[in-house]
Amino acid sequence: MSIVVGRGDEAVVEDTARYVARRLTRRGTPEISFYTREGLQVAVVIHRHERRGYLSPLLGPWVFDDSDDRLSVTMRWPLPDEDATRTNLCHQIENGRLTSARGNLFMWRVHYGLTSDVVVVTHDPFALENVTDDVHRLEPGERLVLDDGIIGVQEVQPLQKPAHPRFDSEQNAVALLAAVLPRCLSPFYGVDVGVLFSGGVDSSLIALLRSHSNARTILFAVIGPDSRDVDASQRAAEKLNLNLVTVPIDHHIVWEMLPELIYATGTTSQMDIAISIPMYAAAREAVKRGFVTLLSGQGPDELFGGYAHHVKILRERGPEALDETLWSQVSTTHRNNLERDEAVVAWAGGELWFPYVAPEVVDLALSIPPLWKVDPGGKPERKVIFRRAAVALGLDREIAEAPKSAAQFSSGSDRLLIEAVRHHCRSGENLSLRRARRHVQDVLDDIARYLHSGGVEGGEPGFDTSAADRLLAELDRMRGA
């Protein structure tokens, strides 16, 4: 969703809104509504996928309040929350002033851009290209205020680290977690969804809880030639008695994706691109099959200690250091993980939701002592209490306790990214796998420069530009060129 606000020239607001709508056609067919309030011209741009009435009126995702002296548009994450503002993005026009408030657990990107005539607030920065270079992020817990032409940002609702409550026992904490987790899926029970699936505990628990719904659930697993997810995803799907769609990828498919992923994520980070590959492949297949609402298992690694370095920190530095590390990672997971994932799925034409980032789950997880999350030398060592809760909810113990690699390794996308460079770049043709790995970042940067130059960068590119050229042609169409 995007909102364009200006004072004076209606034509400028209208033209800007129509340009923004064209730029975001990957998100669906745009609907533009125009308003005038207290001398301000306002355009609200919402795309078809975002306007589907798949959730109850109480849960959103959109709430409009249109009166003579006030206009508010709120995007509500469909997650249970006693204080709903934590998961909202709310725009309000009142008394000639615009306020845009991002809740501290609103996990999609929010950017704003300024010109001499308008301000644009959007959760997709592509909307601001060629509108203005004066672009800024609105972070979780911040509020943007535009009053009489003066703009400011206030931190009004930062994410708070809760104190550790005195649970009666670890078993009591497991029971409470098992009671909370199903509620984060409840808004989706009447909706056909696709689950980004690997066969690990995180995505399998979402799939299990979804299996109680009367709507369709399809699991989408991405499989490369050397993928470790093949057997795990198939076994888990059989035990869950849910349909599994396996999406094969190879280095040719990966190469074709790279310009789109670099553009969609706004980064050339080798790790981020490798993570994005299976997510984009799965989302593209899901949307093609009519599953636009997608669920991700992101969150438990940061909330419950799911990474190898968490075990090392607990061993070497103790529980307080682990607790601080987890808090730091939860506080930044929107920027490091969730915003990237949403951008990739949106570029594929889908909507991605993160049930484990429901406020109830986050608050409870942050209050659980770290020694109940990580058990060095134990089986399992990581996400211990989360796995116990998953078993308590009925997830097969073998699935719940099985170790799992990061998505880019288990799907094979990390190696396929290297193979793509070896096969599609002149500089990589004769490189060993080890040397090609070191060369990948340079190639990703070269593709980004080629895109940024519009394909007219001086010199002969050292790589196959056909995929990049197709993307540039699509972007020209979006701009109306």
> Per residue in 151-164, pLDDT tens?
899 988 888 888 77
pLDDT of residue 322: 97
Q: Which amino acid is located at 140 in the chain?
A: P
Report the CATH number of the 170-413 domain.
3.40.50.620
pLDDT of residue 108: 85
Question: Which helix (H) or strand (E) is 34 found in, with range?
Answer: strand 30-37
Residue 236's Cβ-count burial label (10 Å; 0-12, 13-18, 19+) is buried
**CA–CA dist 233, 239 (Å, integer):** 10
Query: In whole angstroms, what separates CA 462 from the centre of its chain?
Result: 32
What does the DSSP 8-state code read for residue 84?
A: G
SS3 of 224-289: the string is CCCCCHHHHHHHHHHHHCCEEEEEECCHHHHHHHHHHHHHHHCCCCHHHHHHHHHHHHHHHHHHHC
Nearest to 284 by CA among 216, 350, 340, 354: 350
CB neighbour list of residue 234: distance below 8 Å, 6 or more residues apart: 199, 244, 246
pLDDT of residue 14: 93
pLDDT in tens, 24-68: 888 777 889 898 888 889 999 887 654 444 433 333 456 777 777
Q: What count of other Cβ atoms lies within 10 Å of the Cβ of residue 102? A: 28
Domain positions in the chain: 2-155, 170-413
**CA–CA dist 32, 18 (Å, integer):** 8
| CATH level 3 topology of 2-155 | Glutamine Phosphoribosylpyrophosphate, subunit 1, domain 1 (3.60.20)
Positive or negative torsion for Cα 86, 321, 402, 233? positive
- Residue 52: CA atoms inside 13 Å, Cβ hemisphere, count? 15
CB neighbour list of residue 335: distance below 8 Å, 6 or more residues apart: none
pLDDT in tens, 432-455: 777 777 889 999 999 999 998 888
| pLDDT tens series, the chain, 481 aa | 889 999 878 899 999 999 998 888 887 778 898 988 888 899 998 876 544 444 333 334 567 777 777 888 887 766 655 556 788 888 999 888 999 999 898 888 999 999 988 999 998 888 898 899 999 999 999 999 998 888 899 988 888 888 777 688 999 999 999 999 999 888 888 889 999 999 999 999 999 999 888 889 999 999 988 777 678 899 999 999 999 999 999 999 999 999 999 999 999 999 999 999 999 999 999 999 999 999 999 999 999 999 999 999 999 999 999 999 999 999 999 999 999 999 999 999 998 999 999 888 999 999 999 999 999 999 999 999 999 999 999 999 999 998 876 666 567 888 899 999 988 887 766 677 777 778 899 999 999 999 988 887 656 788 889 999 999 999 888 877 5
pLDDT of residue 409: 56
Query: How far apart are the two ends of the chain, measured CA to CA in Å?
Result: 23
Q: What count of other Cβ atoms lies within 10 Å of the Cβ of residue 301? A: 22
pLDDT of residue 15: 93
**CA–CA dist 431, 443 (Å, integer):** 13
β strands within 95-242, DSSP E: 97-102, 111-114, 118-122, 135-137, 142-147, 150-155, 193-196, 217-223
